[in-house]
Structure 1
């Protein structure tokens, strides 16, 4: 199961990230509202692709998993994550006028919500199928920490101001592939643990 998870999640997330890569590269001359709208739509597409890939693997063992709800929850969470990521962009230079304590507090809270968004949304669906799986939130968040760090490490040195849009998209897709593979690898053990747990025998879960 671990190998299937790695392959499908890598493909799903990498495919889904093509949309944000295109919007991110093409929106340099867009207005802020247009950029925000484009990235939120792209985030929904990314979340849908990721959720579908994960549900495809999980449903083989979790036969009662409501796939449509799982995919929808992942898509909504991805939109929320992109919305949080857009806050610093929207504030722009006004960030420099805010008290350092507020910036730190906002960064910690915003980062926590961003990293926990997908795992929390998926847990709300998974808990109906598997009991006591709230640990999925932390496992997913940790995987995304690794994935985002790898994306930054790969993409940042390759991005340059004024480079062709096609090259910027290629850089984004490359970074997205490495990010996807990292997330898939780091979350694989959690996925195996999830499907290996005994099925729920009664109502309610946590």
Structure 2
């Protein structure tokens, strides 16, 4: 790709994906502020994934016009459902898991964490491999992007979320953290996408 085209692709991806993930994340953010129900939060996470997948398709249609939007959105939503399911299981069984020996707990946590970070990328790889060589690199790129985004989200929200805060403030902090997370993730994955598709 030329430098101008590369910049245009990255910018389109950054704008659409940041907006899509931020909008989608409002579903679990609002749900989490109103209820602690695991199944409902997992469903909200699926909505987040579907909105994110749709936004990514809007950015990808310029460079991969034959990409199946239906497949991409479906695997992204399923990946998000898987990630939220693992997270909810960890929360639900947090107390008994904490009693496990470190030799068991640490590998279990590592596997679960990798599953959460790579779930969306693995799903999208099944679609992207039809259109790009070395598409499996996308799995690692999305994992890094989500890891960085979650670190930013946690660093921003943890000191601001305090027990007994009004629901409106909880939502406001969560939404701001979600925007920072979305921007971080989309910036990293956008750079990876340009690199992956940059060669004929």
* Band of TM-score, shorter chain: over 0.9
The equivalent residue for 2:54 is 52
Once the two structures are TM-superposed, the CA of residue 53 in structure 1 deviates from its matched residue by 0.9
1:74 corresponds, among 68, 76, 91, to 76
Listed as ranges, the gaps of 5+ residues in structure 2 are: 1-8
The equivalent residue for 2:121 is 119
Structure 2 residue 5 is matched with structure 1 residue 5: no
Structure 2 residue 147 is matched with structure 1 residue 145: yes
Secondary structure of the structure 2 residue equivalent to 1:98: coil
Once the two structures are TM-superposed, the CA of residue 15 in structure 1 deviates from its matched residue by 0.3
Q: CA RMSD in A?
A: 1.1
The equivalent residue for 1:17 is 25
CA separation in 2, counterparts of 1:96 and 1:127? 39
Once the two structures are TM-superposed, the CA of residue 138 in structure 1 deviates from its matched residue by 0.5
Alpha carbons 2:75, 2:124 under 8 Å: kept: yes
Secondary structure of the structure 2 residue equivalent to 1:157: coil
CA separation in 2, counterparts of 1:69 and 1:194? 20
Matches within 5 A, 1:1-206: 1-27=9-35, 30=36, 35-198=37-200
CA separation in 2, counterparts of 1:45 and 1:195? 28
The equivalent residue for 2:4 is none
Please give the per-residue CA displacement for 1:88-128, whole angstroms capped at 9, x wherever unaligned. 21113212321111110111100111111011100001101
CA separation in 2, counterparts of 1:194 and 1:137? 11
Alpha carbons 1:130, 1:197 under 8 Å: kept: no
The equivalent residue for 2:3 is none
Once the two structures are TM-superposed, the CA of residue 56 in structure 1 deviates from its matched residue by 1.0
**Runs of 4+ in structure 1 displaced over 4 angstroms?**
none
Secondary structure of the structure 2 residue equivalent to 1:51: helix
The 3 A distance-change label for structure 1 pair 189 and 92 is: closer
Once the two structures are TM-superposed, the CA of residue 59 in structure 1 deviates from its matched residue by 1.5
Q: How many residues are matched?
A: 192
Once the two structures are TM-superposed, the CA of residue 63 in structure 1 deviates from its matched residue by 0.9
Listed as ranges, the gaps of 5+ residues in structure 1 are: 199-206
